[in-house]
Structure 1
Amino acid sequence: MKAIVSALICLCLHNTYAQIRVLSVKNVAKEGVNNVALANDYERGNTAAVKEVMNKFSEVVASAFPKDPRPGISIFTQFYLNASGSVDYLIFDVRTGEGYNKDSLDEHSKMAFLAGFENWKVTKSPGRKFSVTSFQNIGKQPVIREVRRGDSSVVDLKSALVFHDTLKVKRLYLNQLELKTLPDVIYRFPNLEELYLGGNELKAVNINMQRLSKLTQLHLQGNQLTNSSFEISPNKTLALLNLKENKFDDIPNVVRESKKLAVLWLGGNPLSALSSRSFRKLKQVRDLNFYKSDIAVLPKGIKKMKNLEVLDLYYNKLEQLPNSIVRLKRLTHFAVSNNQLTSLPKKIDKLKNVHTFYAHHNHLSKLPERIVKMQKLKIMDLGYNWFTTFPAELTAFVNLQELDLSSNNFPDFPEQLLNIKRLDKLYLRGNPFLKEDAEKRYNQQLGLLKNKNIEVFY
C-alpha cells in the first residue's frame, strides 16, 4: 500500500513539474530542447499579455533576490506560453561579477522561477502560443571603463596621484570612478590635452583653464551638472566639450568662454529653457548635438551658428522646423529623425551643402519642391514616415548613393523609382506592397533596379 501511495505522489509531482520546464541557457541542449525551434514555433505576444508576464517576472525576482546585491545581477529570460496562458518553457541566463557561485545561483534561480510560475496563467492570453523575452538588472552592475592605455595616458586616480613624469601625460581618464567632486590632481598634468570625467556623480565643476593651457577635449557626460554648477575659465584651446546626459536646461553661458570651441554635445539634457539668445556668440561651433533633449520648439536663433556643419536633433518633440534653419549654409550632416515633423522648410534647398540627411520616424507625407536643388545629397533616410505616393522629387538627385523608404505606406511598387539615375543601396522593407508574393509580382521592376547595380533591401 505504501509503495502505491509513494508512486502516486511521485506521479503527481512529475505531472506538476511537467507543466513547466525551467532551464538555464547552458543546460538547454543537455535537456534536449531546441531553443531556435521554440522561437520559430511561438509567436510574439500581444501588449497586454507581455505586460502581465513582465509584471509577474518582476514580482518573482523581487521576492527571490536581494534588493541591492553587490555585485549586481543581470537576468535574461525567454518565456514560451501555450494558448491557455500557462508557461511551457522558461529559459534563463543569470550573469554577475565575482562573489557568486554560478551553479548555486542558477539552481536558486531555477527553484524561484518554478515556484513563481507553477500553476500561474496569463489572464489576457491571446489564445495562441506566444513568447516573451525579458531582461532585468538588479543592483549595481559592474562597470566596464572606456580608456585608452599608452605612454601618454593615465587611467585611474591612484596612478594620477603618484605619477612622476607628469609633463608627458596628454590623456587623463577619471571616468566611471564614482567621483563626487572634481579632484585637484587634474592640475598635476600641465600638458594635458584630453580630460575624461564622464560617468561620475559630479554635481559641480569649476575648471581653471589657465592651469590646463593645452586642453582641447573635456568630457563630462553622465554627471549631474546644471547651468549654475558648471564653470570654466576663458580659454583659446578647448575644441570639444561633451556635456551629454546632465541636467542643463539651456546652453551654459560659460561655453562662450571657449573661443575655439568647435564641438558641443548637449544631448540627453532637458533643454526646456532653450531660446534664441541661447545661440549667441557660438558662431565658431561646427558640431552641435541636441539628441534626446525634449525640444518641442527649436528657436529661430539657431541661424546665428553660421559655421555649423553637423546638427543632431534626433529623438525630440519637434512638429516643425524654424524657417531660419535654412540659414545654416555650411551644414553637411542634418539629422531630424524620431520627431513629429509633418513637413520640411519650403526653402530647404538653401542647405545646398547637406550630403547626409536623416529624417526617418516622422510624419512626412510629401517633400518641398525646392529640395531637388540639393544636389550634394548622398544619403537620404525617409523611412517610417507617412508617404502613400512616391515623392517624385527623389528622381532628381544624381549623386544619391543610399535611399531608405522603409515602412512607409506605398500600396504598390513605386514605378518612379526606376527613373532614379544613380543609386547604390535602396531600402523598401515594411511597405504594404511587399507581401509574400512581392518578389514574383514585381520581378521585372526589381530586376531593372538590380541591372543598374542597385542593391535592393525588401
Structure 2
Amino acid sequence: MTASTPFFRLLLAAYMVLASTLVEAQPVVLPLERSLALTVSKEGNERQYVPIAAHVAVYDSLKQGSRVPDLPTALRDSLRRRLIGASKEALSEMQGEFVVSAQLFFDEQGQLSHFFYSLKPFFLQRFDDLFREKLPALLDRESLRVPPGGRARLSMTYYVRNYLRARSGGDTTRMTPEKALAIRDSAAVKILVFSGLGLEKVPEVVYRFPNLEELHLQYNELSEVALDLRRLPRLQKLDLTGNQLTEEGLTLTRNKSLRILNIQRNAFTNVPVAAQHSRRLVSLWIGHNVPHSLGKNSFRGLRKLEDLNLYNAGLLEIPTSIRKLRRLKTLDLYYNELTQLPPALARLRHMEQLAISHNRLETLPEALGKLQKLEKLYAHHNALSTLPTALTKLGKIQMLDIGYNRFEVLPEVVAQLHSLHELDISYNRFSEIPSALPGLKTLKVLHLRGNPFIREKPVALYAPLISQMQAQATEVYY
C-alpha cells in the first residue's frame, strides 16, 4: 500500500482539512515514525523505527512547492532556542536526554503551520504521546516565524536534556549564573547545567563549586572556552555540545579528572589539543563537526579512550593512528563518506560495538575477524553484497545489522554466528527467504522487511519458514 492509493489520498485530504481548522490556533504536530515495540534499547538505533505512512504522505504533500529559506544565523539560532524550550517543557515530566529531528513548515505569512518530528530514544509509548499532546500549545506561532514570501520549510535537529532541579540536600543544579551565585552550600553541588542560555563566555561562578563533577554548557554562543581544571579538581564530565568552538577556541589545563568530553555540533576540523590534555579521558564525542580528515596525531594522548563518537563528520577515511586507541570499546562512524575501513582496526581488540552505518562501504576487511570481543556490528545503509569469512571468529557477536545493502544471498558466515541474538537483513535484494535462517538457534529477533520475496512472492511460499522461526521463539518482522 502506497501514498498514492485511494485510502491514503482520502486520509491525506482529512489531514489537510484538520490542519486548516487548527492552524489558526496552533501548529499541527505529527510524528514521522514509530518504534517497532513499546520499549526498545536506550541506543535508539534507526532499525528500531518505521515510518508512519499517513504522516509521511502529509509531509510529502506539504514539501512540494515549499522553499528552503536562507536565514541569518541569529534567526536560525533563535528558532532553535525557542524549539528547545518548548520541547523541554513538553517533556518536563520525563528525566533524561532526547534528540528531536524536526521538519518545520511555515505558511505564506511566515508563521509555523506544521511540526513533524522523530523523537529518540523511544523508551515508552507515553513519551511520544506526551510530546505530541503538549507540544502544539507550547509552539508560539507569533515568535516562531520566518520572513514571508511563500511557503517555507526548515530542518532542525536538537537535543533536549531534562535534569532534576536542585532540592534541599540535592546535588544537581540547573539555573542561571546569577542564581548560582546565591547558592549557600556550594560544596553540595555536583552537577551544574547552564544550557541554552545564550552565554558567550563561561561564567566565573563555576569555580564556586569545588566538588563539581559535571558541567553542562551545551547550546550556548560560546566561541571561546578556557577552563582551569586545577580549580575544578573533581570535574569528570564536560558537555559543550552546540556552540561555536574551534580548536583554537577550546583550552583545558592538563588534568587527571576529566573522563567524558562532548564537543559535538561545533566547528572543529580536528580533535582539539585540549582533549589531549585530559589523559584519563574515556569518552570523546566529536560528531557533527567538519573534520573531513583526521591527522596522524589526532589521537595522541588518548590511550585510555573507550568510547569515540565521530558521527556525521564528513570523514573520507580513518587514519591508521586509530590503532593507538587500544582500549576502545565503542566506535561510532555513522553518516560519513567512508569507502573502506583501515586494517588498523584489527588492533582494537577490546572493541565491543562498531557502528559503520550510512557510509559508502562495498566491502569489509577480513581484519574485523580479529575483534573477538565484538558484540554489536551496525553496517546498514551501505553498498555491501558480501561479508568477510573471518567474521566466523566473532564468537561473542549478538547483533548484526546489514539492512539497506545489496545482498542477494545470505553470506555463509552468518549461519555460523552461533551467539547471534538479533539479525537485520531488511531492504536488501533477497528474492527468496534464506533457508539457513532456522539454523540460528540463539536468534531472538529477525528483521526481513522490504526484500523482493516479501513484495513479489505469495505469503504461502515463505510463511512456513517464518513459522518455523517463530516456533523457535524468534520474533520476526516482515
Q: TM-score range by the shorter chain?
A: 0.7 to 0.9
2:163 aligns with 147
- In structure 2, what is the Cα distance between the partners aligned to 1:142 and 1:443? 42
2:175 aligns with 156
Q: Residues 10-66 of structure 1, C-alpha deviation per residue, up to 9 Å, x if partnerless? A: xxxxxxxxxx985447669xxxxxx9xxx999995998x8754334999x9464237
Pair 305,76 (structure 1): closer, same or farther in 2 beyond 3 Å: closer
Pair 443,312 (structure 1): closer, same or farther in 2 beyond 3 Å: same
1:82 aligns with none
Number of residue pairs matched by the alignment: 379
- In structure 1, what is the Cα distance between the partners aligned to 2:55 and 2:227? 57
For the pair 1:227 / 2:247, whether they are aligned, the reply is yes
Q: Residues 348-402 of structure 1, C-alpha deviation per residue, up to 9 Å, x if partnerless? A: 1110000011000001100111111111000110000110111111010111000
Cα pair 2:214 2:238 within 8 Å, conserved: yes
Cα pair 2:66 2:153 within 8 Å, conserved: no
For the pair 1:54 / 2:66, whether they are aligned, the reply is yes
- In structure 2, what is the Cα distance between the partners aligned to 1:290 and 1:280? 16
- In structure 2, what is the Cα distance between the partners aligned to 1:46 and 1:434? 26
One-letter identity of the residue aligned with 1:238: L
TM-score when scaled to structure 2? Answer: 0.72
Cα pair 2:277 2:301 within 8 Å, conserved: no
Report matched runs for 1:267-306 at 5 Å: 267-306=287-326
State the SS of the aligned residue for 2:242.
coil
State the SS of the aligned residue for 2:65.
helix
- In structure 2, what is the Cα distance between the partners aligned to 1:327 and 1:207? 34
TM-score when scaled to structure 1? Answer: 0.75
1:408 aligns with 428
Report matched runs for 1:372-451 at 5 Å: 372-435=392-455, 438-451=458-471
1:168 aligns with 188
> C-alpha displacement at 1:161, in angstroms?
1.8
1:197 aligns with 217
Cα pair 2:190 2:214 within 8 Å, conserved: yes
Q: Residues 140-193 of structure 1, C-alpha deviation per residue, up to 9 Å, x if partnerless? A: x99966332231122112321211111111111101111111110111111111
Cα pair 1:279 1:305 within 8 Å, conserved: yes
Structure 1 ranges of 4+ moved more than 6 A = 25-28, 39-43, 98-102, 141-144
One-letter identity of the residue aligned with 2:202: L
- In structure 2, what is the Cα distance between the partners aligned to 1:437 and 1:189? 66
Cα pair 2:398 2:422 within 8 Å, conserved: yes
Pair 145,423 (structure 1): closer, same or farther in 2 beyond 3 Å: closer
Report matched runs for 1:276-355 at 5 Å: 276-355=296-375
- In structure 1, what is the Cα distance between the partners aligned to 2:361 and 2:187? 51
- In structure 1, what is the Cα distance between the partners aligned to 2:138 and 2:291? 37
Cα pair 2:215 2:238 within 8 Å, conserved: yes
State the SS of the aligned residue for 1:453.
coil
- In structure 1, what is the Cα distance between the partners aligned to 2:56 and 2:250? 51
- In structure 1, what is the Cα distance between the partners aligned to 2:53 and 2:343? 49
Pair 163,390 (structure 1): closer, same or farther in 2 beyond 3 Å: same
> C-alpha displacement at 1:101, in angstroms?
9.3
Cα pair 1:216 1:240 within 8 Å, conserved: yes
Cα pair 2:428 2:451 within 8 Å, conserved: yes
State the SS of the aligned residue for 2:215.
strand
State the SS of the aligned residue for 1:176.
coil
Cα pair 1:232 1:254 within 8 Å, conserved: yes
- In structure 2, what is the Cα distance between the partners aligned to 1:446 and 1:98? 46
Structure 2 portions without partners, runs of 5+: 1-14, 24-29, 31-51, 71-104, 117-133
For the pair 1:75 / 2:114, whether they are aligned, the reply is yes
- In structure 1, what is the Cα distance between the partners aligned to 2:155 and 2:361? 35
One-letter identity of the residue aligned with 2:366: K
Pair 447,219 (structure 1): closer, same or farther in 2 beyond 3 Å: same
Tell me which moved more, 250-259 or 286-295: 250-259
Cα pair 1:74 1:94 within 8 Å, conserved: no
- Select the structure of larger CA radius of gyration: 1
Structure 1 portions without partners, runs of 5+: 1-19, 29-34, 67-72, 78-92, 106-111, 118-133
- In structure 2, what is the Cα distance between the partners aligned to 1:25 and 1:314? 39
> C-alpha displacement at 1:282, in angstroms?
1.2
Q: Residues 296-320 of structure 1, C-alpha deviation per residue, up to 9 Å, x if partnerless? A: 1111110010110110000100000
2:8 aligns with none
State the SS of the aligned residue for 1:261.
coil
Pair 95,354 (structure 1): closer, same or farther in 2 beyond 3 Å: same
- In structure 1, what is the Cα distance between the partners aligned to 2:254 and 2:55? 61
For the pair 1:64 / 2:83, whether they are aligned, the reply is no
Q: Residues 239-291 of structure 1, C-alpha deviation per residue, up to 9 Å, x if partnerless? A: 10111111111111121211211111101111134122212221100000000
Of all paired residues, the percent bearing the same amino acid is 35
- In structure 2, what is the Cα distance between the partners aligned to 1:278 and 1:251? 6
One-letter identity of the residue aligned with 1:290: L
State the SS of the aligned residue for 1:450.
helix
Pair 74,228 (structure 1): closer, same or farther in 2 beyond 3 Å: farther
2:101 aligns with none
One-letter identity of the residue aligned with 2:173: V
State the SS of the aligned residue for 1:380.
strand
- In structure 1, what is the Cα distance between the partners aligned to 2:180 and 2:381? 46
Pair 428,41 (structure 1): closer, same or farther in 2 beyond 3 Å: closer
Pair 142,302 (structure 1): closer, same or farther in 2 beyond 3 Å: closer
> C-alpha displacement at 1:337, in angstroms?
0.5
